[in-house]
Amino acid sequence: MRKRPPSIDGLPASTLQLPPGPWSTVLDCLCERFPSVPRAQWLERMARGRVVDNAGTWLTPETPYRLGLEVHYYREVPDEPPIPFDEVVLHADADLLVADKPHFLPVTPAGVHVHETLLGRLIRATGNHALVPLHRIDRETAGVVLFSTNPQTRARYQALFPARLIEKNYEAIAPALPDVEFPCIRASRIVSGEPFYRMQEIEGPPNSETRLDVIARGDAHWRYALTPVTGRTHQLRVHMAALGAPIANDPIYPSVRHRARGDYSAPLQLLAKRVAFIDPLSGVERSFASSFALQDQ
């Protein structure tokens, strides 16, 4: 098993396998590959040992380019704002950690969020640099996330997901659907749309399926139980919007609404409420439930 580069301050390394090209040095390749990162910033990262090879050797501005070389680097965002919500560890043992993620906190680094991630916080809290998320939920979604704590048993837990041996239950607050008969199933074909981070339904054989039911009926909004059978990006959000009941405070569906940086006033009303499975190591049934609650509209 190939050794993973160590995390630094809870931040795992990103990896680039050098593509074919005319560059004479690794630095030249990185500068052209990532034009938004100034050359001076790559030089500064190299000087602090934040660009390394598989052996952990620091790469320098003079390191020659080599096709296929795996370069590991640590992303940095200046003045990254803290996210003022705390995660909760629901369970931890030698093989598995279960965390309860608040709204707005990404699971792994993405975009302007590098250090302020669930993974980074957990690595800093536990000192376990081998932590790896077994699945993802959206940054806007709160709830239960499973992490592998042990590389030796990781594959056993990862295998549960493609085999659909993990039961995941969500709750959502969304507009009432009095003309829909519940429980119901929404199956559709979901593909990437425009802009690139927004998904859409199109005609064709279904590649996504969600089971829906109603937990409680209010005047304008209902509380729904959502069980994804498949795991497409934004699947629950797309299906609810397609039914005519976009999840409350959704900034993407049915249309994109840009949120000001640092605005945490209206969290998406979607919660990964419960995860259940048969533990592949012990054969014992395990179930973990979120301690967070959605806001009635």
Q: What is the DSSP letter of 263?
A: -
**Same domain for 69 and 101?**
no
Q: Give me 278's structure tokens.
A: 């048969």
- Measured CA to CA, the distance from residue 154 to residue 151 in angstroms comes to 5
> In the chain, pLDDT over 90 holds for what percent of residues?
79
Q: Is residue 236 part of a domain?
A: yes
What is the average per-residue pLDDT within 205-230?
Answer: 97
Q: Where are the alpha helices (DSSP H) in 77-161?
A: 118-126, 154-158
Q: Is the pLDDT of residue 1 over 50?
A: no
Kindly state whether residues 233 and 190 are assigned to the same domain: yes
Domain that holds residue 192: 166-280
Answer yes or no: do 172 and 124 share one domain: no
* Predicted confidence (pLDDT) per residue in 70-117, tens digit: 999 988 777 778 899 999 999 999 999 999 999 999 998 876 777 889
CA distance 54 to 287: 38
**According to the model, what pLDDT value does residue 31 have?**
95
* Number of folded domains that form the chain: 3
Is pLDDT at 278 greater than 50 in this prediction?
yes
Average pLDDT of the chain? Answer: 93
State the pTM of this model. 0.83
**pLDDT for res 181:** 96
Give the pair of three-digit tokens for residue 100: 């309860």
Quick one: average pLDDT of 56-79?
90
Domain membership of residue 1 (yes or no) is no
Do 66 and 94 lie in one domain? The reply is no
Residue 2: the pLDDT is 54
CATH of the domain at 63: 3.10.290.10
pLDDT at 11 over 80: no
Please tell me the distance from the alpha carbon of residue 239 to that of residue 253, in angstroms, as a whole number. Answer: 10
Q: List active site positions.
A: 138
CA–CA dist 277, 282 (Å, integer)? 11
